[in-house]
Homo-oligomer: A and B are copies of this chain.
Amino acid sequence: MSSSIGENLRLTIFGQSHSPAVGMTLEGIPAGFTIDMEALGRFLARRAPGRNAWSTPRKEADAPEFLSGLVGDTTCGAPLSAIIRNTNTRSGDYELLKTVPRPGHADYTAEIKYGGHQDAAGGGHFSGRLTAPLCAAGGICLQYLEKHGIRIRARILSIGTVTDPAPFTESVAEKEFPAAGDAAGEEMKAAIARARAEGDSVGGIVECVAEGLPAGLGDPMFGGMENRISAIVFGIPAVKGIEFGDGFEAARRTGSENNDAYTAEDGAIHTLTNHAGGILGGITSGMPLVFRAAFKPTPSIAKTQRSVNLETGEDTELSVPGRHDPCIVPRAVPVIEAAAALAVTDALLGRRKEAEP
């Protein structure tokens, strides 16, 4: 079903933007794992809106309430579940949207699919608000993976036409504005400010790196790491593309340029380059797993746009009211980390059962 995913680790997401709560159930984290609730809170804060100039001024209390799966802060083997109450909603802002669909949003497709019964307020089940429980689940996985020596961090690679030439560093994720290069980061913030000033929005690219992965995670065919990661990442609103390793750039190359040569160093085997992004045949090679996700610009903009009135069947104009992120890319950085952590944990748990014939 569409709101559940995973094979050895099963995530179920529920909630709408303006329903009483959003939440998640996560089954499969082994019993006896202690969650660092403070660290989880800090992780969720990286996604929360209203923290600074480049995100939406809405304030959300994103503290998850755990309903099950724990004895104290330690997993007991039963499914984890947590909810985050929705507050500070303004349902009045969204009345018009069932009649005049916002371009670029799911308003129209949801209208068709659900025959007018969809919850239109705040984007309903399609809202970016649903990434809060995704981050609660993924944040737990990030901690679980760290205990197994695996670190997953993401960064902003580009905002609009501003691309950061600096290489990825693990500490980038800790920055308030998670761009590796400070100068590029300033340019990106300026691009966001410009979009905001113009009542517009802007897209961008997030790059994610997982380090410390053992070789041998993942499965052939439909169980590959690329399949698993993309199946979750495309569940994040606004993602329109994903590439692993050198991705689309690899399609321009020859085999002799793109193949990563093996070498042995102190008994350990690695590759001299990492064009493959740490994945061969769907399975991790032990090199860093690298992928990039493309976010389209937020469709909610104040600028006047053309749309249709579904009741009258006539063309009309629309300016989306309310307070919107001019760019969701900075807040998407921890969401991408969470999505990657969910996929990697699923693969890690699955590996155990193959340990011996």
Q: Is the CB of B25 within 8 A of A12?
A: yes
Stretch among A42-50, A164-172, A175-183, A280-288 lining the B interface: A280-288
Chain B CB within 10 A, most for which of A3, A5, A27: A3
Q: How far is the CB of A272 from chain B (nearest CB, A)?
A: 7
Q: Is the CB of B8 within 8 A of A283?
A: no
Q: Is the CB of B239 within 8 A of A19?
A: no
User: Is A38 in the interface zone, CB < 8 Å from B?
Assistant: no
Which 7 pairs from chain A and chain B are nearest by CB?
A106-B281, A2-B223, A241-B243, A2-B219, A78-B125, A241-B247, A201-B255
Cα distance, A300 to B256, chains bound together (Å): 9
Q: How far is the CB of A208 from chain B (nearest CB, A)?
A: 14
Report the contact-size class of chain A (Cβ under 8 Å from the partner): 35 or more
Q: Is the CB of A250 within 8 A of B77?
A: no
Query: A3-B221, A20-B68, A255-B298 are known contacts; what are 13 more A-B pairs with Cβ within 8 Å?
Result: A1-B6, A2-B222, A4-B4, A14-B67, A31-B113, A71-B119, A76-B124, A78-B220, A224-B235, A227-B235, A230-B242, A237-B281, A256-B301
User: Is A103 in the interface zone, CB < 8 Å from B?
Assistant: yes
Q: Is the CB of A5 within 8 A of B252?
A: no
User: Is A307 in the interface zone, CB < 8 Å from B?
Assistant: yes
Q: Is the CB of B227 within 8 A of A231?
A: yes
Q: Tell me the residues in window 4-36 of chain A with beta carbons closer than 8 Å to chain B beta carbons.
A: 4-8, 10, 12-16, 19-23, 25, 27-33
Cα distance, A83 to B119, chains bound together (Å): 20
Cα distance, A116 to B30, chains bound together (Å): 12
Known: A2-B224, A104-B259, A158-B252. A264 touches B313 (CB 8 A): yes
Known: A216-B113, A352-B355. A205 touches B248 (CB 8 A): yes
Cα distance, A318 to B65, chains bound together (Å): 36
Q: Is the CB of A357 within 8 A of B201?
A: no
User: Is A203 in the interface zone, CB < 8 Å from B?
Assistant: yes
Q: Is the CB of A81 within 8 A of B1?
A: no
Q: Is the CB of A109 within 8 A of B262?
A: no
User: Is A232 in the interface zone, CB < 8 Å from B?
Assistant: yes
Q: List the B side residues contacting A56 at CB < 8 Å.
A: none
Q: Is the CB of B281 within 8 A of A109?
A: yes
Q: How far is the CB of A338 from chain B (nearest CB, A)?
A: 14
User: Is A138 in the interface zone, CB < 8 Å from B?
Assistant: no
Q: How far is the CB of A349 from chain B (nearest CB, A)?
A: 4
Chain B CB within 10 A, most for which of A112, A158, A254, A303: A254
